Amino acid sequence: MSDVIVHVKNVQKTYKQGSIEVHALRGVTLELARGEFAVLAGSSGSGKTTLLNLVGALDVPTTGEIDVEGRMLSSMTGKDLAELRLRRLGFVFQAYNLIPVLSAYENAEYVMLLQGEPAEKRREKVMKVLESVGLKGMENRRPTELSGGQQQRVAVARAIASEPALVLADEPTANLDSKTGSDLVATMRKLNEEHGITFLISSHDPKVIRHAARVIRLEDGAIVSDERQNGKPAVGYNPVDAATEDSEAWRGGNADGEDYDGD
């Protein structure tokens, strides 16, 4: 099995707002290796959420290719993409997206329920992962009975319980206070280090960036730096090649008729 879990090649994403084309991504190229804890950093509108959505097969690029676990997303059917999201990817959303009528346990097991996992296996995994994110004893609480930080921990538990190849997290600390956010990121990093779970996180939160082993910075839809925390350039990023691709992307792309969400 290849060490590269994600390969993004010269991806452009253009949205249309009325008669105006908005270039959300401009020729982005990068590779993500298995076991990495990487952050897509940048201000609002830099393109980090757009890139995360493309890698997660929640949207399609205007041009360019994305490969996840050796499979080119553009060649996959809608059914195949749904299976990829269900079985190989985990998602952590900024707004938690928990089901309010379900308990923490039921929310955490939900993906495995969709996968058809036996009840005994679901219980074993869910209880273990809830304990790993610091929620032991809170299994029966509904989201309204949990703090914001606890709800986001349930969301992380849901994302990792089915043992996906890759977890994609969009601004996971945005709605949390400073201490709760720091604790959550520390928990995610611990899961990465102890279990080898690959994380790709979009954030402009300094706390998240400090915990990252790799920081990929975006500005105006282009990668401007890609470094390990020791300052060494990351594998798969060539500043010369990227500059050439980004300059070509600035000359425009094809609109896909979708609305741009500003990130």
DSSP 260: P
pLDDT band at 190 (very low <50, low <70, confident <90, very high): confident
pLDDT of 6 reads 97
pLDDT of 263 reads 64
User: Cβ neighbours of residue 133 under 8 Å, at least 6 residues apart?
Assistant: 153, 154, 156, 157, 187, 191
Record the tokens describing residue 213, joined without a space. 């082993």
- Over the stretch 10-42, which tens digit does the pLDDT of each residue have? 999 999 988 999 999 999 999 999 999 999 999
Amino acid at 227: E
Amino acid at 21: E
pTM for the structure as a whole? 0.84
Cα–Cα distance for residue pair 226/242, rounded to 1 Å: 11
Q: Is the pLDDT of residue 240 over 80?
A: no
Domains in the chain and their CATH numbers?
A: 37-60+77-229 (3.40.50.300)
Strands 222-228 and 20-33: unpaired
- Over the stretch 116-172, which tens digit does the pLDDT of each residue have? 999 999 999 999 999 988 899 999 999 999 999 999 999 999 999 998 999 999 999
Q: How many CA atoms lie within 13 A of 127 on its CB side?
A: 7
- Over the stretch 53-102, which tens digit does the pLDDT of each residue have? 999 999 999 999 999 999 999 999 999 999 999 999 999 988 899 999 99
Cα–Cα distance for residue pair 177/257, rounded to 1 Å: 37
